[in-house]
Amino acid sequence: MELTPRTYDEGGDEAADAPVAPRAPRRRRRWLPLAVLAAVVLGLGVLVYKGLSDASLYFRNADEAVAQRDALGDRRFRLQGTVVGEPATEGDTVSFDVAYNGVEVPVVHTGTPPDMFRRGIPVVLEGRWRDGAEVFDSDRMLVKHDETYESRDDYDDRIDDAEQGGGTGG
């Protein structure tokens, strides 16, 4: 069996002893894997930058934030303090004051505050100083809580009733 490649002349007939020209090797596209790799590295870089910039959002106590108001300008930061006075709710905003080391800061928070939010509880607020005013505009609130558990008496009474077979009845 003959395995040599056949050659053809210009008329399309099989040529008898024409030399066969070797084909040029096909060039591989090396730019495609490099482009994909560059896109993946760029995407990971953006994710890392975003994560680190959110993590590096420093918090300041209320007294520090007031002292550094001009330096902070309109940049976002976290403000820490204890809620003083009664919060006033109007629509989707809550107005209240936070204090730390005797310095009070008026706050206007947009959004629904956490369930544990009330007077006397420490909070960390994320936002910025309002332009031209001494008010802190917040759009994110974290409520600090301790590990103590306060049971509700009515809940305890129901548990006791259930353990005794359903309370009074007969």
pTM, two decimals, is: 0.55
Q: Give the lowest-confidence range in 3-12, 25-34, 89-98, 110-119.
A: 3-12
Q: Which of 161, 106, 166 is nearest to 137 (CA)?
A: 106
* Residue 154: per-residue pLDDT: 56
Average pLDDT over residues 52-73: 80
Q: What is the pLDDT of residues 92-127, one digit of tens each?
A: 999 999 999 999 999 999 998 888 888 989 999 999
* Residue 28: per-residue pLDDT: 67
Return the CATH class of domain 59-143.
mainly beta
Question: What SS3 class is residue 156?
Answer: helix
- Helix, strand, coil percentages in the chain from 3-state DSSP, rounded to 5: 25, 30, 45
Question: How is 5-27 classified by DSSP, letter by letter?
Answer: PP-B-TTSSBPSSPPPPPPPPPP
**Local confidence band at 73 (pLDDT 50, 70, 90 cut-offs):** confident
